Structure 1
């Protein structure tokens, strides 16, 4: 069906309907943007990252998508209008690179934009022209299929500029229709930064949708994005996920405690886990965090219910996520001071009120285990460092 055909809104959505089975749990993988942005991206980086995903145990832990973000493209389309890879930084081309990624047991992701320009052209002075998919959606999908792409990040990047007439959600529906007609299944990740409340309209055809502006490697940024997720849980579930952006674990700017809390919060939010650090040079501490089985089991729980903040006591927050075999309670210390159960007069037990005025925060799960340490949890003996999160899993 050509894109200029007049169709009803209902028919348009039907032709763009996704295969929900492609993302039964929040997708996991790695994306190049946070660490390498535009000009640090190359074939060497991608192949080294693919090897690191395997050698580190991340692939086996579930990080299956290797997503190459903006700036992989040549400066212009080919004579037939097809996208080409940058010949200097990707000399072997994308089909060959996709084969290398697949040979390592990984899945291949690429970046496109729905307008005339990509974000790097706008914000990183990438000296290219007409790299956006506007008017080329079907051709670009055919190119992706020919290269063996499994995952598409589709980034708004002022898609309404240059006389395109595009708007939300129409710009993304155009690509979704082309993907739905493709002979190869491709996960669709859309990014319009939460500007048009995509959680209300993207679920029919996208597998994940950005709910926020871009993250950076700071505690302030992590907290800003977390706060913006309040009230969105009902829109997510198997096949379609709220996406508060990629992970900054392992990048300079977060302390080890903050990085752990960041990952725990994304797990509680049932958010996609897209690592954004240099996997080739990461520390053992970062590798152990990213592959922590207890946190990833919460993230990938098959029930697919997004967790929520359920209470606040000053700078101490209580989170809860339902799981297929129980639930997880999270305590998050947002303050710059230590929080001690004994000294601050608080307890996890719902009925814990004594003569000293103990205040109950939440019910301790039956058989509760500290997700981070694997040890049995106590209601009375816990202590949180500044910006630390504690997860307690039980029935």
Structure 2
């Protein structure tokens, strides 16, 4: 293959990808064909598909424990008896895109961390065959996960390993969204945009407020590297998973919307509460997330335990105020300014423009008064139109 001809298809992700990934809830041994089809049905009936969560990604452990005699990957015969091509057809029949997981070394992450009893199911030495297999199965999205790919005598480097698969995908001729997952170790925002459509900027997320804050902090300074065609990825959503309160889950989603981050739900959508469903499909938050300008937001100031974020939109901008502390604080709209209870100015309000509380949808007049009592870990998004 002539590698000089490679150009990624940036049109596949004009806005941050949205969908669902199996790992956070089902991890390895609980992942089955029945689970996947149940999730696919729930994405439709819950309204999540129509809200934009259109890609269903089957993460690690879908594979059989060994390749077939021709070197091809196969699905696990007990947990995925119909095979991945047939499963992909079922996913497509529900109006969803089909995503799968591979790893560039000799092992996948489940082989390392979950004692998955497989051998040589990593893609090292099989890149073109694996990419062709995915294309044959109708795969639309690939998560390619580092998983110590440089071990076992592969000689792989971060950028080199992901470049190999980028060229292999291109050779198939199938449009496949390419998710690069190396956990931000080699500053992928500086090189991955030439190869992939999204790239992890952090280690794995956990369903705790501390984890959400740690990952959000690591996005500081990365906004310039993202935009239509390629996105910084601070990992999947933990919305709806035990460990975050409803309020923390709302702030988590608001932050990811401000960051123009991919929104890959990781909860069990078959059994989620109505509160979780309403949050994940909230029209105002998703409008911020999917704004066509594609400008990632950034933290602009800090006032003690309160962070202020701003994101430019195609028709204005949005300001996010997050109370990270353990005590309540007050945010006020007064005299054409948005300010904290300490009178610290946050944003000037355009005199003739529209001001909207994104969560409630309430329109606020720039010259009027309004206040929010922000509980600990609560975030407010205020949208401005000039």
**TM-score normalised to the size of structure 2?**
0.95
Q: Structure 1 379/141 Cα, relative in aligned 2: closer, same or farther at 3 Å?
A: farther
In the TM superposition, residue 233 of structure 1 has moved relative to its aligned partner by 0.1
In the TM superposition, residue 350 of structure 1 has moved relative to its aligned partner by 4.4
Q: Please give the alpha-carbon distance, in whole angstroms, between the structure 2 residues aligned to 1:216 and 1:223.
A: 11
Question: Is it true that 1:368 corresponds to 2:358 in the alignment?
Answer: no
1:223 corresponds to which residue?
Answer: 213
2:111 corresponds to which residue?
Answer: 121
1:8 corresponds to which residue?
Answer: none
1:155-166 residue pairs with structure 2 within 5 A? 155-166=145-156
Q: Tell me the matched-pair count.
A: 380
CA RMSD of superposed structures (Å): 1.7
Cα deviation, 1:43-82, whole Å, max 9, x if unaligned, reads 0110000000000000000000000000000000000000
Cα deviation, 1:211-260, whole Å, max 9, x if unaligned, reads 00000000000000000000000000000000000000000000000000
Kept in 2: contact 1:333–1:385 (CA 8 A): yes
Kept in 2: contact 1:217–1:248 (CA 8 A): yes
1:6 corresponds to which residue?
Answer: none
Q: Structure 1 269/80 Cα, relative in aligned 2: closer, same or farther at 3 Å?
A: same
Structure 1 residue matching 2:221: 3-state secondary structure:
coil
2:231 corresponds to which residue?
Answer: 241
Kept in 2: contact 1:347–1:359 (CA 8 A): no
Kept in 1: contact 2:49–2:96 (CA 8 A): yes
Kept in 2: contact 1:16–1:173 (CA 8 A): no
In the TM superposition, residue 352 of structure 1 has moved relative to its aligned partner by 7.2
Unaligned runs of 5+ in 1: 2-10
Q: Structure 1 348/155 Cα, relative in aligned 2: closer, same or farther at 3 Å?
A: farther
Q: Which of 69, 78, 95 is matched with 1:79 structurally?
A: 69
Structure 1 residue matching 2:61: 3-state secondary structure:
coil
Q: Please give the alpha-carbon distance, in whole angstroms, between the structure 2 residues aligned to 1:237 and 1:270.
A: 8
Structure 2 residue matching 1:368: 3-state secondary structure:
strand
Q: Which of 61, 67, 74 is matched with 2:51 structurally?
A: 61
Cα deviation, 1:301-328, whole Å, max 9, x if unaligned, reads 0000000010000011111000000000
Q: Structure 1 residue runs of 4+, over 6 Å off?
A: none
Structure 2 residue matching 1:181: 3-state secondary structure:
helix
Cα deviation, 1:100-150, whole Å, max 9, x if unaligned, reads 000000000000000000000000000000000011111001110111000
Question: Is it true that 1:268 corresponds to 2:258 in the alignment?
Answer: yes
1:314 corresponds to which residue?
Answer: 304
Q: More strand by proportion, 1 or 2? A: 2
Kept in 1: contact 2:331–2:339 (CA 8 A): no
**TM-score normalised to the size of structure 1?**
0.93
